[in-house]
Amino acid sequence: MNVCVVVAAAIVVDGRLLLAQRRRPAALDGLWELPGGKVEPGETPTDALRRELREELDIETEAGERIGVEVPLADGLVLRAYLTEIVSGIPRALDHAAIGWFSAAELPAVDLVPNDRMWLPDLERALRAS
Protein backbone atom coordinates (compact mmCIF):
# COMPACT_ATOMS: atom_id res chain seq x y z
CA MET A 1 0.00 0.00 0.00
CA ASN A 2 1.22 3.47 -0.80
CA VAL A 3 1.12 5.67 2.28
CA CYS A 4 1.37 9.36 1.50
CA VAL A 5 3.98 11.10 3.60
CA VAL A 6 4.09 14.69 4.81
CA VAL A 7 7.63 15.75 5.74
CA ALA A 8 8.64 18.45 8.19
CA ALA A 9 12.01 19.96 9.13
CA ALA A 10 13.49 20.52 12.58
CA ILE A 11 16.11 23.19 11.90
CA VAL A 12 18.21 24.15 14.94
CA VAL A 13 20.72 26.98 14.77
CA ASP A 14 22.52 28.40 17.82
CA GLY A 15 20.20 26.61 20.26
CA ARG A 16 16.99 27.79 18.63
CA LEU A 17 14.40 25.94 16.58
CA LEU A 18 12.95 27.46 13.41
CA LEU A 19 9.16 27.45 13.36
CA ALA A 20 6.81 28.84 10.72
CA GLN A 21 3.38 30.30 11.35
CA ARG A 22 0.59 28.88 9.16
CA ARG A 23 -1.98 30.99 7.36
CA ARG A 24 -4.25 28.12 6.28
CA PRO A 25 -6.47 26.21 6.62
CA ALA A 26 -8.60 28.31 8.97
CA ALA A 27 -8.30 25.70 11.73
CA LEU A 28 -4.50 26.07 11.73
CA ASP A 29 -4.32 29.81 10.97
CA GLY A 30 -1.83 31.48 13.31
CA LEU A 31 -0.40 28.24 14.69
CA TRP A 32 3.30 27.41 14.42
CA GLU A 33 4.72 24.32 12.71
CA LEU A 34 7.89 22.63 11.59
CA PRO A 35 7.91 23.73 7.93
CA GLY A 36 7.41 21.12 5.22
CA GLY A 37 4.68 19.57 3.08
CA LYS A 38 3.47 16.59 1.09
CA VAL A 39 5.79 14.24 -0.78
CA GLU A 40 4.83 14.41 -4.47
CA PRO A 41 4.77 11.35 -6.77
CA GLY A 42 8.32 10.41 -7.86
CA GLU A 43 9.99 12.23 -4.99
CA THR A 44 11.79 10.72 -2.03
CA PRO A 45 10.75 12.21 1.31
CA THR A 46 14.07 14.03 1.64
CA ASP A 47 13.77 15.39 -1.94
CA ALA A 48 10.34 16.71 -0.99
CA LEU A 49 11.66 18.35 2.14
CA ARG A 50 14.43 20.06 0.18
CA ARG A 51 11.86 21.34 -2.37
CA GLU A 52 9.35 22.51 0.25
CA LEU A 53 12.00 24.43 2.21
CA ARG A 54 13.27 26.06 -1.00
CA GLU A 55 9.69 27.05 -1.96
CA GLU A 56 8.54 28.14 1.48
CA LEU A 57 11.67 29.59 3.09
CA ASP A 58 14.11 30.29 0.22
CA ILE A 59 16.85 28.08 1.71
CA GLU A 60 18.89 25.13 0.49
CA THR A 61 18.95 22.31 3.03
CA GLU A 62 20.11 18.79 3.73
CA ALA A 63 17.88 16.41 5.69
CA GLY A 64 19.58 14.31 8.38
CA GLU A 65 18.21 11.86 10.93
CA ARG A 66 14.54 11.41 11.70
CA ILE A 67 13.28 12.96 14.91
CA GLY A 68 10.19 11.93 16.88
CA VAL A 69 7.46 9.45 16.08
CA GLU A 70 5.58 9.26 12.79
CA VAL A 71 2.19 10.92 13.35
CA PRO A 72 -0.88 9.52 11.53
CA LEU A 73 -2.98 12.24 9.87
CA ALA A 74 -6.41 12.14 8.24
CA ASP A 75 -6.84 10.71 4.71
CA GLY A 76 -4.10 8.05 5.09
CA LEU A 77 -1.30 10.61 5.38
CA VAL A 78 1.56 10.24 7.84
CA LEU A 79 3.66 13.10 9.13
CA ARG A 80 7.37 12.66 9.80
CA ALA A 81 10.13 15.03 10.88
CA TYR A 82 13.83 15.18 10.02
CA LEU A 83 16.62 17.07 11.69
CA THR A 84 17.68 19.38 8.87
CA GLU A 85 20.68 21.60 8.21
CA ILE A 86 20.65 24.86 6.28
CA VAL A 87 23.26 24.61 3.51
CA SER A 88 22.76 28.12 2.16
CA GLY A 89 20.42 31.08 2.37
CA ILE A 90 18.69 32.95 5.15
CA PRO A 91 15.17 31.69 5.86
CA ARG A 92 12.30 34.08 5.16
CA ALA A 93 8.55 33.47 5.09
CA LEU A 94 7.52 33.21 1.41
CA ASP A 95 4.28 31.34 2.17
CA HIS A 96 3.84 31.46 5.95
CA ALA A 97 2.68 34.47 7.98
CA ALA A 98 6.04 34.61 9.79
CA ILE A 99 9.00 32.60 10.92
CA GLY A 100 10.53 32.58 14.38
CA TRP A 101 13.38 31.01 16.33
CA PHE A 102 12.57 29.44 19.71
CA SER A 103 14.72 28.12 22.56
CA ALA A 104 13.92 24.97 24.57
CA ALA A 105 12.64 27.19 27.38
CA GLU A 106 10.30 29.09 25.04
CA LEU A 107 8.96 26.10 23.13
CA PRO A 108 6.27 24.84 25.56
CA ALA A 109 4.48 28.21 25.41
CA VAL A 110 4.38 28.33 21.59
CA ASP A 111 1.00 27.69 19.92
CA LEU A 112 2.11 24.67 17.90
CA VAL A 113 -0.19 22.87 15.45
CA PRO A 114 -1.62 19.87 17.35
CA ASN A 115 0.30 17.21 15.39
CA ASP A 116 3.67 18.83 16.02
CA ARG A 117 2.97 18.95 19.75
CA MET A 118 3.74 15.20 19.76
CA TRP A 119 7.37 16.06 19.07
CA LEU A 120 7.77 18.58 21.89
CA PRO A 121 9.95 16.34 24.15
CA ASP A 122 12.15 15.31 21.20
CA LEU A 123 12.54 18.92 20.05
CA GLU A 124 13.36 20.16 23.55
CA ARG A 125 15.97 17.38 23.87
CA ALA A 126 17.52 18.29 20.50
CA LEU A 127 17.65 21.96 21.47
CA ARG A 128 19.23 21.26 24.85
CA ALA A 129 21.81 18.96 23.20
CA SER A 130 22.74 21.53 20.54
Residues in contact with ligand DCP by CB under 6 A are: 6, 8, 33-34, 36-38, 73, 79, 113, 115-116
Least Cβ distance, residue 4 to ligand DCP (angstroms): 9
SS3 at position 124: helix
Q: Residue 113 or 127: which CB sits closer to ligand DCP?
A: 113
CA distance 62 to 88: 10
Largest CA distance in the chain: 41
Strands 77-88 and 4-10 come out as parallel
- Name which of 40 and 62 has its Cβ closer to ligand DCP: 40
Q: Of 83 and 116, which has the nearer Cβ to ligand DCP?
A: 116
Single out the residue of 10, 11, 17 nearest to residue 104, CA to CA. 17
Nearest distance, CB of residue 7 and ligand DCP, angstroms: 8
Cα(104)–Cα(5) distance, integer angstroms: 27
Q: Which residue's beta carbon is nearest to the bound ligand DCP?
A: 37
DSSP state of 89: S
Give least dist CB 116 to ligand DCP, A: 5
Cβ nearer to ligand DCP, comparing 79 with 86: 79
